[in-house]
Amino acid sequence: MEADTRVNVGDRLRMKKKHPCGGDLWEVLRVGADFRLKCLTCGRVVMIPRADALRRAKDLLGGEGA
Ligand SMILES: [Zn+2]
């Protein structure tokens, strides 16, 4: 995705590459210079630099209610 894509807490990111658990959908817990993401399949939380997160993401899905 584009580096200037606007991402909000609560949004979901679908990654190009699957997590080892088999999931590819992550919930955004925090945005900033680093994103804090939670794997919705296994619940693991990771911090990755914003640029990396956006480069690896395939789709941005709005959060619940968005
Ligand atoms: Zn996972």
Q: What's the whole-number mean pLDDT along residues 55-61? A: 95
Say how many Å lie between the CA of residue 3 and the centre of ligand 1: 24
Where is pLDDT greater, at 14 or 63?
Answer: 14
pLDDT at position 64: 64
Give per-residue pLDDT as tens, 1-40.
887 889 999 999 999 999 999 999 999 999 999 999 999 9
pTM (whole model) above 0.85: yes
**Ligand 1 geometric centre to CA of 18 (Å):** 8
Q: Quote the ligand 1 centre to 42 CA distance (angstroms).
A: 4
CB 37 within 8 A of CB 26: yes
- For the chain, the domains span 12-61
Q: Kindly give the distance from the C-alpha atom of residue 30 to the centroid of ligand 1, in angstroms, as a whole number.
A: 18
